[in-house]
Amino acid sequence: MSRTDQELEGVTLLGNQGTQYEFDYRPDVLETFENKHPENEYVVTLDCPEFTSLCPKTGQPDFGHIIINATMAIFMRIASTSS
């Protein structure tokens, strides 16, 4: 189910090939658009099986598997990480 240009008006980050990756939390990079079917319950699952970071205490690499389940409400929020 695709969206019309009018429905996506103001959504500028999704599909942007010039994405600048930030390392600090930036809620302004999240864009919203109205849920066309708010009567439906959605669950979005983000699965990152190869998460890596540096331990803030030792500086050594940490590894993990992160799974995030989120339910959508009236608005859906997206963050673009297009490359």
Residue 19: is its pLDDT beyond 70?
Answer: no
The pair of structure tokens assigned to 5 is: 């240009």
43 in a structural domain = yes
Q: How confident is the model at residue 80 (pLDDT cuts 50, 70, 90)?
A: very low
* Structural domain boundaries, residue 68: 34-74
9 in a structural domain = no
68 in a structural domain = yes
Q: Please answer whether residues 54 and 61 qualify as being in contact, where contact means their C-beta atoms are separated by less than 8 angstroms.
A: yes
The model's pTM is 0.41
Each residue of 44-64: pLDDT tens digit?
888 888 888 887 777 788 888
CA 67 to chain centroid? 13
22 in a structural domain = no
In this prediction, residues 20-41 reach a mean pLDDT of: 76
44 in a structural domain = yes
Phi-psi region of 27 (alpha: psi -120 to 50; beta: other; left: phi over 0): alpha
C-beta atoms surrounding 10 within 10 Å: 8
pLDDT at 21: 67
82 in a structural domain = no
pLDDT at 62: 84
63 in a structural domain = yes
DSSP conformation class of 36: S
Catalytic positions = 55, 62
Number of domains in the chain: 1
